[in-house]
Amino acid sequence: MTSTADTLRIATRPHAGNATELIDGDVHNIVPDTQALFPYLSEHWREHITNTLFKGAPETSYPRWAPTTERPGSELPNWRPAGSDLSVIKRDVLDADGLSFAVLCCTYAIDSLHNPDAAVALARAVNDWQIAEWLDKDERLRATVVVPTQLPAEAAREIDRVGCHPGFVQVGLPVRSSVPYGSRLHAPLWEAISRNSLVGAIHFGGAPGTPPTPSGWPSYYLEEHVGMAQVFQTQVVSLVTEGVFDLHPDLRVVLLEAGVTWMGPFLWRFDKEWRNLRRLVPWVKRAPSAYVRDHIRLTIQPVDAPPSDVHLRQAIEQIGSDEMLVYASDYPHRHASEPSRVLSVVTESHAARIRSANARALWRLA
Amino acid sequence: MARHVVAQVGEIPPGGRKVVDLDGHSVGVFHVEGEYFALLNWCPHQGARLCEGRLWSGLEGDVPGDYRTRTDRTVIACMYHGWEFDLRTGRSVCEPERLRVRTYEVTVEPDHPSDQDGSTLGRLSRTNATAHTFPVTVEHGNIVVDLRRTPISATVLGTPGARSEGNIDITLIPVEGSIHSGGAI
């Protein structure tokens, strides 16, 4: 292995984007109900779902009643979930924002299914549904491969099955996992992501069966929601420490809905502790912050922003790179912050990177 | 500054060390498999007594699970926070370009006391671009440290201009009048 020290892993293409182009890095396409997947399921699973109480994966990370789940105006008639209608997404996101690309992130909770055969069958169905009903219908769309992350070998098989489709640009990894993603248990997953030149998309939520906080089960959804930033930090520490980027020097990872302002201080701590403890992991040859800046990107919705623009600008500068942030609306989820606020406090050239150039480099959009 | 006799050869066993006070500066003299190294006893992190830290082999790896022991490289880990410094160069293992501890050239001169003027042997040429070093020579069974050349600055943090100042000689004098054969000494 050669040193990775002087190669920027996610090189921004010089021709990429322009000042006005906008790419949305996190738009949710929601499976409306299990029946929508029937055309993509085998006779066995159609009959099983029809005749039993099994109704597929629940949306545990985004409770329907929660005001964070559906923003005003995104609601659909007949209790269909927001984000499940392409025509509405076209009208309210793609066209309204004048997007050149939108990266869809389907968060169908395959990871909550304990029956491995059901998990595999439903993941395949969701991906075929995405190809037929989303990617084939609008060339501005890119999508996320949904995989059973709890079964890394099966996940790898599914990535190899559909990863070559030009519409898929990343693999969805719910940030809540039963074991951190850097663990060697997940080696087949990263090998498949790397083999297919896809992005590892670590996303808010997940239902692995383990508590959503490292200290056990909280009582309220608010606790889980706020605490998710800690879980993202756990995954970043794991990926760097357990050498995933040393094994896969070209690997790209994006954190979706992670928040961004924690990153700077987090890297200070990570670098500091690495100096103390690096003998445990000699393959971590550079400061963790260098790995993160080379390999990891973050979408800017939500942004946990201080009230002062000056402080927000400082928090963004503390991240230490203008190549790490990627614009996202997180449609149809609702946050009290607006991504436009980030764009308004950074320099014009940085804003242009956030709006499109960083996304083009991350997902190799062309 | 002056040359100092710090020990007699044989007094510091292989793997051993002796911390001495030289003109008010605490300096650790280490004996590693026939070579002598001298290091300022002051961690550039927070000023702890670096030379009381544990010695380790260099340790490298490329991928998870890869632990490559570099027996040709010795590092000292500060007892406070474990920061590692290369005994030979004084450079931080983690941030060699940014951080280093002052080291002193250690050579063994032939048993000619007249060779003590700082234009000494060996390791000076290896390290003078990276750290402050002291030649170490051995004279009449005594280990001699020569501080005559420049004053010591406590730490050097990314100031390339300071690299070549402050050479101090540590002279090791062989007990039997023989020259140690390890590396430059």
In chain A, residues with a C-beta closer than 8 Å to the C-beta of B84 are 278-279
Side chain identity at A18, as an amino acid letter? N
- The residue assigned the tokens 């201009």 is B161
Nearest to A246 among B63, B82, B84 (CB): B63
DSSP notation for A252-266: EEEEES--STTHHHH
Please report the pLDDT score of residue B147 as a whole number.
Answer: 62
The yes-or-no verdict on residue A143 having pLDDT over 50 is yes
Q: Which B positions 54-93 lie with beta carbon below 8 A of chain A?
A: 56, 59-64, 66-68, 77, 81-84, 92-93
The yes-or-no verdict on residue B179 having pLDDT over 90 is no
* A291 in contact with chain B, both atoms CB, cutoff 8 A: no
d(CA B79, CA B83): 8
Q: How far is B36 from chain A (nearest CA, A)?
A: 24
More confident residue, B107 or B27: B27
Largest CA distance in chain A: 59
Kindly identify which residue of chain B lies nearest to residue A241, measuring between CA atoms. B64
CA-CA distances (angstroms) from residue A212 to A205, A225, A266, B38? 8, 9, 20, 52
In chain A, residues with a C-beta closer than 8 Å to the C-beta of B83 are 275-276
Average predicted confidence (pLDDT) for chain A: 92
- The residue assigned the tokens 């997404």 is A89
Please report the pLDDT score of residue B122 as a whole number.
Answer: 30
List the single best residue of A279, A285, A291 to mutate versus B (max B Cβ within 10 A): A279
The yes-or-no verdict on residue A135 having pLDDT over 70 is yes
Burial of residue B14 (number of CB atoms within 10 Å: 0-12, 13-18, 19+): exposed
Q: Which A positions 337-356 lie with beta carbon below 8 A of chain B?
A: none
DSSP notation for A243-305: THHHH-TT-EEEEES--STTHHHHHHHHHHHHHHHGGG-TT--S-HHHHHHHHEEEE-SS---
Does the beta-carbon distance from B63 to A243 stay under 8 Å?
yes
The yes-or-no verdict on residue B11 having pLDDT over 90 is no
For residue range A298-326, what is the model confidence (pLDDT) as tens digits? 999 999 989 999 999 999 999 999 999 99
Does the beta-carbon distance from B66 to A287 stay under 8 Å?
no
List the single best residue of A183, A238, A276 to mutate versus B (max B Cβ within 10 A): A276
The yes-or-no verdict on residue A41 having pLDDT over 90 is yes
The yes-or-no verdict on residue B109 having pLDDT over 60 is no
The yes-or-no verdict on residue B116 having pLDDT over 70 is no
Is A87 strand, coil or helix?
A: helix
Closest CA to A263 of A226, A229, A227, A291: A229
For B77, the token pair is 């880990």
For residue range B137-150, what is the model confidence (pLDDT) as tens digits? 666 667 766 665 44
Does the beta-carbon distance from B83 to A276 stay under 8 Å?
yes
Q: How far is B20 from chain A (nearest CA, A)?
A: 27
Q: How far is A28 from chain B (nearest CA, A)?
A: 35
Cα-to-chain-centroid distance, residue A190: 15
Q: Which residues contact B124 (CB under 8 A, 6 or more apart)?
A: B105, B107, B133, B135, B167
Nearest to A246 among B62, B92, B93 (CB): B62
Reported ipTM: 0.81
Does the beta-carbon distance from B94 to A246 stay under 8 Å?
no
Does the beta-carbon distance from A282 to B59 stay under 8 Å?
yes
> pTM of the prediction?
0.83
Q: Which A positions 150-189 lie with beta carbon below 8 A of chain B?
A: 184
Please report the pLDDT score of residue B151 as a whole number.
Answer: 37
- What domains lie within chain B, and their CATH numbers? 3-172 (2.102.10.10)
- What domains lie within chain A, and their CATH numbers? 23-363 (3.20.20.140)
Confidence of residue A242 (pLDDT cuts 50, 70, 90): very high
d(CA A354, CA A331): 17
Please report the pLDDT score of residue A159 as a whole number.
Answer: 98
Kindly identify which residue of chain A lies nearest to residue B56, measuring between CA atoms. A279
For residue range A332-352, what is the model confidence (pLDDT) as tens digits? 988 777 888 999 999 999 999
Q: What is the dihedral of CA B134, B137, B140, B141, to 10 degrees?
A: 80
* A191 in contact with chain B, both atoms CB, cutoff 8 A: no
Does the beta-carbon distance from B94 to A278 stay under 8 Å?
yes
Q: How far is A110 from chain B (nearest CA, A)?
A: 29
What does residue A290 show for φ and ψ, rounded to 5 degrees?
Answer: -70, -40
In chain A, residues with a C-beta closer than 8 Å to the C-beta of B60 are 282, 285
d(CA A109, CA A9): 30
List the single best residue of A184, A185, A248, A275 to mutate versus B (max B Cβ within 10 A): A275
* B10 in contact with chain A, both atoms CB, cutoff 8 A: no
Strand partners for A145: A171
Nearest to A1 among B63, B93, B95 (CB): B63
Does the beta-carbon distance from B64 to A275 stay under 8 Å?
no
Beta carbons within 10 angstroms of residue B126's beta carbon: 14
Mean pLDDT confidence for B100-113: 66
Nearest to A275 among B66, B68, B94 (CB): B94
What does residue B34 show for φ and ψ, rounded to 5 degrees?
Answer: 90, -10
More confident residue, B172 or A142: A142
The yes-or-no verdict on residue A54 having pLDDT over 50 is yes
For residue range A183-233, what is the model confidence (pLDDT) as tens digits? 999 999 999 999 999 999 999 999 999 999 989 999 999 999 999 999 999
